[in-house]
Amino acid sequence: MTRRFAGRPRVLCAVFRFIPGARFIAPVLIATATGIRSRTYLPITFCSAMIWGILLVTIGRKIALLVTYVWGHVWSAHGPLVVAGAALVFYILKVTWRYFRSAE
């Protein structure tokens, strides 16, 4: 696999951002196993990063619109307070449960 991608460093520079987990390994592979120069690497990575950013922002916006469409009628100004209050009650119950369980 390493040999396959190291044989095409420009493709690796353009694609590694889109492969989950490859963002940790690919830059090291590009720097050590290929002879690609910075003047080639930087524009390819810049274009890839711009596409990646636009793609993720677009997908995030579409998901936000979908969530708003589905749950928008339920949302109110008191929603975050209700969620925070429920979390606080749950935490207090958990701490109380652990306290009385350790006393036994």
Question: Would you state the pLDDT for residue 6?
Answer: 61
Distance CA 30, CA 41 (A): 9
For residues 52, 16, 26 and 37, what is the CA-based torsion angle, rounded to 10 degrees?
-80
pLDDT in tens, 52-103: 999 999 999 999 888 888 877 666 677 778 889 999 999 999 999 998 888 7
Distance CA 57, CA 48 (A): 14
Q: What is the pTM of this model?
A: 0.57
For residues 31, 35, 38 and 39, what is the CA-based torsion angle, rounded to 10 degrees?
-160
Question: Would you state the pLDDT for residue 22?
Answer: 79
